[in-house]
Amino acid sequence: MNFKELGLSDDLIDSISYMGFEKATPIQEQAIPKILDRKDLIACAQTGTGKTAAFILPIINKLSQKEASNDSINTVVICPTRELAIQIDQQINGFTYFTSISSIAIYGGGDGDDWEEQKKALTSGVDIVVTTPGKFIAHLNMGYMNLKNIEHVILDEADRMLDIGFHDDILRIFSYFPKDRQTLMFSATMPNKIRDLAKEILNEPDEISIAISKPAEGVMQIAYLCYDPLKTKFIKRLIDGKESCKSIIIFTSTKKQVGEVVRELRNKDYLVLGISSDLDQSQREDVLIKFRAKQCRVLVATDVMSRGIDIKDINLVINYNVPNDAEDYVHRIGRTARADTTGIAVTLLNEEEQYKFLRIERLIEKEVLKSPVPTEIGESPTWNPNASNKRPSNKNRGKSKRYKGKRS
Ligand code: AMP
């Protein structure tokens, strides 16, 4: 379906084509008419499905048809991380470039200047605020925000926010919003705690579900049986000489491993950068800018990066180890093959990680092809996931081892 058929205005359709979108994705087809119709919505959709545009386009459509208000906020988008807040705000900027609709991303980690700019936007009025819960509460506590004209509130990645422990903060924020608002909730999974939250903040919502916890069709998945000490050697072998792989992300489960893998690959003359919560906000942004600009071919990251971060054209995702949370696997490999493209996701499995991987296969309802590493890399463990569930830890096997300003 094209965007005109969904009831969006001609001006907005021009901006959508500037962004390179031709056809609506399934979540956009289902969500946009309902949001335009002022329905509350609970949508189960993972990142990579086009969910950001699904909620932001109808809101922009509505905003473009109304007068700007002087000192208030119209829409609040609440999301779990600063990276996601920046990315959502960037998409809003793209769609509103030729309009006077204003937006700002508000997140922690900045300096005093950031706070003053945020305060100025929040007090003088801004159409769309994209924020993380903690920072929004910090501003709420100062008492200078006019929230009485809020018409739309969106919770993005709601399951992730509850995992992080934002439940009480979210309810507190919602206690400040007008009752007659429209509320949209997006979540990659629908556990009971999400349904319970929905009962508290949504009003007779319509429900949309787009394939839960399944990787995009275009991702080719493969798992290699590989002892930990051989993993970097094998990664080097995987990426050596593959010039067409211009953007590669390697996910590790801990910050410590990010540093280790970066060091090992750098030793081997790779242009590699690492990103984890050890870096401060400006360092993280700097790394992402370099990676997006393809000044760095390999990015080593913790799961902070796996959700929602949109970097185009990632050809290869490597799971250095299996994530603890099976949902994180889907998010990690969702960094490749975004919106109709193809990509490869490689997972490295030592002995102890096999049972976790079996659980992931059950979740995605797919058996992933498994292979030993080439013999010249070294010995491989055998695939025996049930044993790995019982086996004590044995790590050492293996031979070698934008506020644009107020609308006027
Ligand atoms: P999201 O699920 O919001 O993280 O979006 C995933 C990616 O798909 C982003 O790069 C969007 O720019 C892109 N995208 C969203 N909607 C469309 C569309 N209708 N056509 C092409 N790409 C899209």
**Residue 289: Cβ-neighbour burial (10 angstroms; 0-12, 13-18, 19+):** exposed
Q: Is residue 29 part of a domain?
A: yes
CATH number for position 27: 3.40.50.300
Given ligand 1 and candidates 6, 21, 311, 342, which is best to mutate, with the most ligand atoms within 8 Å of its CB? 21
- Domains in the chain, number: 2
Q: What is the pLDDT of residue 164?
A: 85
Cα–Cα dist 118/267, whole Å: 42
- The continuous run of DSSP H or E covering 287 comes out as helix 281-292
Tokens 């905003």 correspond to 63
**Ligand 1 atom with the shortest distance to the CA of 49:** 2
Spacing, Cα 50 to ligand 1 middle (Å): 4
Same domain, residue pair 206 and 224: no
Q: Is residue 317 part of a domain?
A: yes
pLDDT tens over the chain, length 408 residues: 889 899 999 999 999 998 888 889 899 999 999 999 999 999 988 777 789 999 999 999 999 988 766 678 999 999 998 889 999 999 999 999 888 999 999 998 777 778 898 999 999 989 999 999 999 999 999 999 989 999 999 999 998 899 889 999 999 999 999 999 999 999 987 889 999 999 999 999 999 987 655 676 778 899 999 999 999 999 999 988 777 788 899 999 888 999 999 998 886 666 899 998 888 888 888 898 898 888 888 999 987 666 656 676 788 999 999 987 666 788 788 777 655 557 889 999 999 899 889 878 877 878 999 999 999 999 999 998 877 554 444 443 433 335 555 565
Same domain, residue pair 200 and 245: no
Other C-beta atoms closer than 10 Å to the C-beta of 99 total 16
Cα–Cα dist 384/8, whole Å: 53
Enclosing domain of residue 366: 219-372
Q: What is the pLDDT of residue 330?
A: 83
Residue with the smallest CA separation from ligand 1 atom 15 is 50
Same domain, residue pair 239 and 362: yes
Q: Is residue 73 part of a domain?
A: yes
- Of 210, 230, 255, at which residue does a domain stop? 210
Same domain, residue pair 193 and 80: yes
Q: Is residue 194 part of a domain?
A: yes
Q: What is the pLDDT of residue 253?
A: 85
Query: Does 188 contact ligand 1 (Cβ within 6 A)?
Result: no
CA angle, 213 then 218 then 221, to 5°: 70
Query: Does 157 contact ligand 1 (Cβ within 6 A)?
Result: no
Same domain, residue pair 188 and 272: no
Contact assessment for residue 277 and residue 304, using Cβ atoms and an 8 Å cutoff: yes
Query: Does 314 contact ligand 1 (Cβ within 6 A)?
Result: no
**Ligand 1 atom with the shortest distance to the CA of 19:** 12
Residue with the smallest CA separation from ligand 1 atom 11 is 50
Residue with the smallest CA separation from ligand 1 atom 10 is 310
Same domain, residue pair 9 and 98: yes
